[in-house]
Amino acid sequence: MAVLQHTDLRKGVKIELDGQPFLIIDSDFVKPGKGQAFTRCRVKNYLNGNTIERTIKSNEKIDKADIESTTCQYLYADGEYFHFMDGTTYDQYRFTEENVGECVKWLAENIEYNVLFWNGRALSVEAPNHVELEITQCDPGVAGNTAQGATKPATLSTGAIVNVPLFVNENDWIRVDTRTGDYTERVKK
Amino acid sequence: MASDWRPTATVTALRERALIVSTLRAFFEARGSLEVETPHLVASPGVDAHLDAPSVALDGRTLYLATSPEYAMKRLLAAGSGAIHQLGAAFRAGERGRLHEPQFTMLEWYEPGADDAGCMDTTEALVRAAASVHDGKLRFGGEESDASVGGPAFARTTFRDAFSAVTGTDPLHPDTGRLGRLLRAAGVRTESACSSEELIDLTLGAVVQPELGLDVPVFVTDWPADRAGLARLRPGRDRDGAIAAARFELYACGVELCNGYHELSDPLEQRARIEQENALRRAMDKVPYPVDEQFLAALEAGLPDCAGNALGIDRLVTLVLGLDSIGASRTFLAGC
């Protein structure tokens, strides 16, 4: 397993702490006058999604987490597992609800997701930054309400609820930013 | 990313940085100080257990990029240069962060005849002159500290008092349980247990420093003898027999801006400190650095009684302009 020095501990690096995989969200280097250096890291646990802070001394070595990712299409859910397929190799993988986590809100067929494996085990699923989904339920815009920036809730085919502008209607397709959960634009399908 | 070619600073910030630098040059010129340039490539970098110099292979020799120009500037002082200052690059391996860069710009100066208190006066005037290029305020991390010309005097407090005021425990006789609780409250959890020295370093970095210089900048003076750097030790003893060093650091908005000394001039004491730092380096599995015999010979010949200070220009510009990291005060990051 690759071993990292404290200078390698930068945002986006994947590390193992207490035998669990973490993603570094943010890190900063602290060095008091004429003293030893430390790297303070905010890290997110891939297994439970919790974010914690850890401080690494300059003389400590940290294991790099062996995390691989591949692009997969979402196929279907069978009530217990979510099934994905690698469009190049046709290999199929199954993920639990815990593995899929927040991404479940954005799961739709034919969209490509980044699926992660840790030591060869299914770990998590990441949605692309933008997905295009159909609105399955939303109230019509109220006539005469022309206030700038007015929005209404809309339910998408995946069950996610997104605030949309009043001119957007049921059965429209919209583009959503999965990082913020915000409506981006209406798209033609 | 190869396409990420743009500078990390805005052109506006670079213009203000240039103004600050020319203000500082004028400040020293008006005081009759001589601007000097010493080599960045040196046979012996500063010997410090916690400072690592990048090494460079040059014509079959191993040279180092200097962590500070201190040894060379002291050779100039011993040669009769009088007051000198230098604005140039300094290098630190393994240091990168919001306030650290492997290559940064250091202003280092020496004042013959001055002690640490006199050098603090100079530093205070200089920081006010730099801050006047913008609006006289230093800002970082949501904090603001007043360094305006005619503003309140910078505070001065000893290391022991500053540490005790924030933590409620004396750094020379610490209540380690208390430090552990303070660190946990600050979100600090280390991978392995800390030695008592590491506990002090961590508390200093994560708990004490963020509280220093929040309304007006503060000089932290009288550092413990084991953190003396190249400062002389005070002749008298502290309240309970402890010996303090004539060393100071200036903090504003929780950021360390400089490190100054009433300079150690005793060559024997200096050699002993270099050997002690190299012993600490060996104990930490780090390479020891060559002893700079020319520097020690200069001390033998006689270093004039003087005070000196090293001030991080990138940090000063960052605080004067209210930027969020030193990267925003420099053109590009090293190696990027």
pLDDT, tens digit (0-9, with 9 covering 90-100), for B94-143 = 899 999 999 999 999 999 999 999 999 999 999 999 999 999 999 999 99
In this prediction, what percent of chain B has a pLDDT beyond 70? Answer: 99
Q: Fill in the amino acid letter for B222.
A: D
Q: Which of B95, B192, B194 sits opposite A37 (nearest CB)?
A: B95
Tell me which of A25, A28, A36 to substitute to probe the interface with B (most B C-beta atoms closer than 10 Å). A36
Residues 13-32 of chain A whose Cβ lies under 8 A from any Cβ of chain B: 17, 27-32
User: Does the structure's ipTM exceed the value 0.85?
Assistant: no
DSSP-derived pairing of the beta strands A151-156 and A130-138:
antiparallel
Asked if A38 and B206 come within 8 Å (Cβ–Cβ), the reply is yes
CB-based contact (8 Å) between A37 and chain B?
Answer: yes
How high is the mean pLDDT of chain B? 95
Please name the residue of chain A whose CA is at the shortest distance from the CA of residue B285: A59
Tell me what the mean pLDDT of segment B324-331 comes to. Answer: 97
Rounded Cα gap, residues B269 and B139, in angstroms: 39
Tell me what the mean pLDDT of segment B61-85 comes to. Answer: 97
Rounded Cα gap, residues B209 and B212, in angstroms: 5
Decide: residue B185, CB within 10 A, 0-12 exposed, 13-18 middle, 19+ buried.
exposed
Q: What is the phi-psi region of residue B77: left when phi exceeds 0, alpha when psi lies from -120 to 50, beta otherwise?
A: alpha
Q: What is the pLDDT of residue A144?
A: 60
Q: What is the phi-psi region of residue B20: left when phi exceeds 0, alpha when psi lies from -120 to 50, beta otherwise?
A: alpha
Which residues fall within 8 angstroms of residue B334, CB to CB, at 6 or more apart?
Answer: B101, B102, B103
Please name the residue of chain A whose CA is at the shortest distance from the CA of residue B50: A36
* pLDDT confidence bin for A148, thresholds 50/70/90: low
pLDDT greater than 90 at residue A32: no
Tell me what the mean pLDDT of segment A135-154 comes to. Answer: 78
B contact set with A (CB within 8 A): 48, 50, 94-100, 187-192, 194, 197-198, 200-202, 204-206, 208-209, 220, 223, 227, 229, 249, 256, 259, 284
Tell me what the mean pLDDT of segment A157-175 comes to. Answer: 93
Rounded Cα gap, residues B320 and B15, in angstroms: 13
DSSP-derived pairing of the beta strands B34-35 and B84-91:
parallel
Asked if A32 and B201 come within 8 Å (Cβ–Cβ), the reply is yes
Please name the residue of chain B whose CA is at the shortest distance from the CA of residue A5: B94
How many CB atoms within 10 Å of residue B175? 13
Rounded Cα gap, residues B324 and B318, in angstroms: 7
* pLDDT confidence bin for B1, thresholds 50/70/90: very low
> How do residues B313-326 score in pLDDT, each as one tens digit?
999 999 999 999 99
Q: What is the pLDDT of residue A61?
A: 85
Bridge partners of B249? B220, B259
Asked if A54 and B189 come within 8 Å (Cβ–Cβ), the reply is yes
Q: Is A69 helix (H, G, I), strand (E, B) or coil?
A: strand
Through-space distance between the first and last CA atoms of chain B, rounded to whole angstroms: 9
Q: Which of A34, A52, A58 sits opposite B229 (nearest CB)?
A: A34
Bridge partners of A75? none
pLDDT greater than 80 at residue A81: yes
Please name the residue of chain A whose CA is at the shortest distance from the CA of residue B284: A59
Please name the residue of chain A whose CA is at the shortest distance from the CA of residue B102: A7
How high is the mean pLDDT of chain A? 89
Bridge partners of B303? none
What's the CA dihedral at B235, B239, B243, B248 to 10 degrees? -90
- The encoded tokens of residue B19 equal 């103004």
Instruction: List C-alpha distances in Å: B203 to A36, A44, B2, B284, B285.
Output: 11, 24, 39, 21, 24
Q: Which of B48, B94, B98 sits opposite A58 (nearest CB)?
A: B94
Asked if A56 and B50 come within 8 Å (Cβ–Cβ), the reply is no
Rounded Cα gap, residues B70 and B46, in angstroms: 8
Rounded Cα gap, residues B277 and B67, in angstroms: 15
CB-based contact (8 Å) between A36 and chain B?
Answer: yes
CB-based contact (8 Å) between A102 and chain B?
Answer: no
- The encoded tokens of residue B311 equal 């001030």
Rounded Cα gap, residues B102 and B99, in angstroms: 11
Chain CA centroid to CA B298, Å: 23
Tell me which of A31, A41, A57, A61 to substitute to probe the interface with B (most B C-beta atoms closer than 10 Å). A31
pLDDT greater than 60 at residue B55: yes
Q: What is the pLDDT of residue A2?
A: 86
Rounded Cα gap, residues A64 and A4, in angstroms: 6
How many CB atoms within 10 Å of residue B203? 27
- The encoded tokens of residue B63 equal 């040279």
C-alpha distance from A51 to closest chain B C-alpha (Å): 12
Pick from B245, B230, B218: which is nearest to B162 by CA? B218
Q: What is the pLDDT of residue B292?
A: 97
Q: Which of A29, A30, A36 sits opposite B198 (nearest CB)?
A: A36
In this prediction, what percent of chain A has a pLDDT beyond 70? Answer: 96
Residue B120 in contact with residue B7, Cβ under 8 Å?
no
Chain A positions touching B204 (Cβ under 8 A) are 32-33, 35
Tell me what the mean pLDDT of segment B244-255 comes to. Answer: 97
Q: Which of A7, A35, A54 sits opposite B94 (nearest CB)?
A: A7
| pTM > 0.90 | no
Tell me what the mean pLDDT of segment A82-110 comes to. Answer: 91
Asked if B94 and A62 come within 8 Å (Cβ–Cβ), the reply is no
Through-space distance between the first and last CA atoms of chain A, rounded to whole angstroms: 47
